Amino acid sequence: MIPYAKLFRMKPSSNLLSPSNHALVLIDFEGQMAFATKSISTTELRNNTAIVAGASKIFNVPTVVTTVAEASFSGPVFPEIEEVYPQATSGYIDRTSMNTWEDPAAYKAITGKGKQKLVMAGLWTSVCIVGPALSAIEEGYTVYVITDACGDVSTEAHERAVQRMVHAGVIPITSIQYLLELQRDWARQETYVAVTDLVKKYGGAYGTGIHYAHHMLQH
C-alpha cells in the first residue's frame, strides 16, 4: 500500500517561507520617514510593522534592523520595533547611504545570516526598499517584500515601486500572510498562543474575530 503522505505528495512548496529559511531586514522605520508617508495611514503601518517584528521574534527569524541618520535626522525607530528588538541589545545599524546594500556594515550583517531568502520591509518603498531589493536580486538572492509594512510619500510612489520590484523578480507579501506562513499549522502549540495574542493586539478585524472566538469557546 502506498503511504498516505506519498500518495498525496504532502510536501510544502520551496517558495514558502519558514522560520529557518530566511532573514528579515527592517529598514528605516523612523519618525522622520513616517511623517511624509501618505500611501498608508500611520496607524495601519505601525500595526503591520508590529505584526512583522513580532512574528520574527516568535519564530526566532534572523533579523537585521537598520536606520538612516538616526541621531541627526530620522529619529528613533517605531516603538513596536524597539519593544521587540531593543537598540541596547540588538545593535541597530545606522547608515548614511539610502541603499542599505551599499553600506558595508549592513551588507555584512545581512549576508552574514547565511540565508538565500531575504524578507524586507520599511520606509520609503521607492528608495530604501527598491535599492536593497534590486541589489540583492542581482546577487542571486530570493527577495520578498512585505508591501503593507512599507510606505511612501504617495500611493503612486509606493505602487510604482512595488511594480518595479515585481518586474525584477521580487515576491510581494503582506504582514498577516508573513505571520501565518510561519505558523502554517494551528497544531503548532508552541507558538499558537504568541501568534494569536499578536493578532489580537495588532490584527484589526481579524484580531477581533480571534478574540471573540476565544471568548465564546470559554463559555
* Residue range 149-203, pLDDT digits in tens: 999 999 999 999 999 999 999 999 999 999 999 999 999 999 999 999 999 999 9
150 is catalytic: no
Query: Which pLDDT does position 218 carry in this prediction?
Result: 81
CATH fold label, 19-185: Rossmann fold (3.40.50)
Catalytic one among 50, 119, 128, 198? Answer: 128
pLDDT at 90 over 80: yes
pTM for the structure as a whole: 0.93
Q: Which segment of 6-15, 73-82, 95-104 scores lowest on mean pLDDT?
A: 6-15
So where are the chain's domains? 19-185
Alpha helices by DSSP H, the chain: 4-8, 31-35, 42-58, 79-84, 87-90, 104-111, 130-138, 155-168, 175-183, 189-202, 204-217
CB 62 within 8 A of CB 115: yes
